[in-house]
Structures are given as structure tokens and as C-alpha cells.
Amino acid sequence: MGGTFDPIHNGHLVAGSEVAHRFGLDEVIFVPTGQPWQKTGRAGSTDGQQHSARDVSPAEDRYLMTVIATASNPRFSVSRVDIDREGNTYTVDTLRDLRRQLPDAELFFITGADALESILSWQDFDELFSLARFVGVSRPGYELSATHLAKHLRELPADTLRMLEIPALAISSTECRARAAAGQPVWYLVPDGVVQYIAKRGLYRSWPHPGPSVSAPG
């Protein structure tokens, strides 16, 4: 499962757990993005909001939060392939790297309904489905409604993409950042260790816009 994970939250973990259960997967590999080049808006959002471009937290912070969040589940692991590769993160590279590392594995790429809505614009879209099977999971507030996408997805070979209804958790990293910035609790939205990591590193304090440094007059 790929994601910016800024921060990782319980919606991500439920998605990984549910897909592993339903598809009988041996392992779920969480892959934090290096440079998520499309973090500038949300196609398919039904909340009417446009999420604007922003600075993403350092890759090592996002990686460590992902490690902390997944540590207690023996089937969960974390890969550095995307954060160790330079330049924009493209899923086609993620899947090529993972196939190289795990030549005998059958790969499934887990993605939420909102991310799936933008998949036609992903790098080397045509190649993606030859590298892995895709699992699109439901997400509150998003629907796979775009007709151009539905048409393309219908044309894919059978079993290339499966849609899965999962327990609904209306949590987003955006909301977690906003809550942390406002001094509101993020307990139970993210794992306990991630709450503590955010506080320890002082993440999101100035989110969404780092304020200018102000010096007192005189």
C-alpha cells in the first residue's frame, strides 16, 4: 500500500488489514512516497473542498511514523524503495522495485477510492496493471463516479482491479495535521506511538502555512 502517510492514520491500517484478510495476503508492505508529485488536489472529493498544494513532511519522519504504526502487526512491514529513490515517486517504479526484490510474489497494490480516481494520470498508466493487481478500497466522502475512469477500468482484463468495501473510517491525514496544528487531540485517529512521535518532533505545528518569523519591536 503506497501513501504519503503524513501522518499514517487508522484508515490506512484498516485498509491494509481488511485487504490482507479478504485476499489472504501473507504480507502488507506500506510504502511511504518520496516526492508525491500529485499532492495538489483531490479528484473525486465529494466534500466540495479543494485541498491545496503544501509542503510534505520530511521522508524520514513519514517513514518512522509508518514503522511505528505497523510495528505491532506481524503481517505489516515498511519499504524504503520510494523514499530512497530520487525524484518524483511513480507507482510504476515502486512496483518494478518490489518485483525485483520479491520475484516470486504476486503483488497487489492497495489504493483508496480517491487515489484511484486519478490513476489515469499516473506515470505509465498502461504498464501498471501488468506489474500488479490493484485493489481499490472504499473511503467515506469519495465515490468512483467519473465516467471516463469507469469506462477505462471496465476495459481492463478481469481480476486486474477489484473494488472492496471496507469498514468506513472518515479519517484523513489532512484532518490529523489540522487538528495537531490547532492543539486538538489526534488520539485514536492515529496509533498511540504516532501521537507521541508527532509531539516529540513538533510536526504540523505551523501547518498549513509556516508562519513568518516575527521579532518583537524594539
Ligand X SMILES: Nc1ncnc2c1ncn2[C@@H]1O[C@H](COP(=O)(O)OP(=O)(O)OP(=O)(O)O)[C@@H](O)[C@H]1O
**Cα distance between residue 25 and residue 38, in whole Å:** 29
Decide: is 33 part of the binding site for ligand NCN (CB under 6 A).
yes
| Cis amide leading into 7 (omega within 30) | yes
Instruction: Give me the sheet containing 2-3, strands edge to edge.
Output: 2-3, 28-32, 76-78
Residues 38-57 that bind ligand X (CB under 6 A): none
Exactly one of 105, 169, 178, 181 binds ligand X (CB under 6 A); which one?
169
- List b or e across 131-169, with b for residues whose CB sees 16 or more CB atoms inside 10 angstroms: bbebbbbbbebbebebeebeeebeeeeeeebeeeebeeb
Exactly one of 92, 122, 174, 201 binds ligand X (CB under 6 A); which one?
174
Exactly one of 36, 44, 136, 191 binds ligand NCN (CB under 6 A); which one?
36
Residues 64-123 that bind ligand X (CB under 6 A): 111-112, 114-115
Helix or strand run (H / E) with residue 14: helix 10-23
Binding site for ligand X (CB under 6 A): 3-6, 11-12, 15, 111-112, 114-115, 137, 139, 169, 171-174
Binding site for ligand NCN (CB under 6 A): 2-4, 31, 33, 36, 38-39, 89-92, 111, 115, 122-123
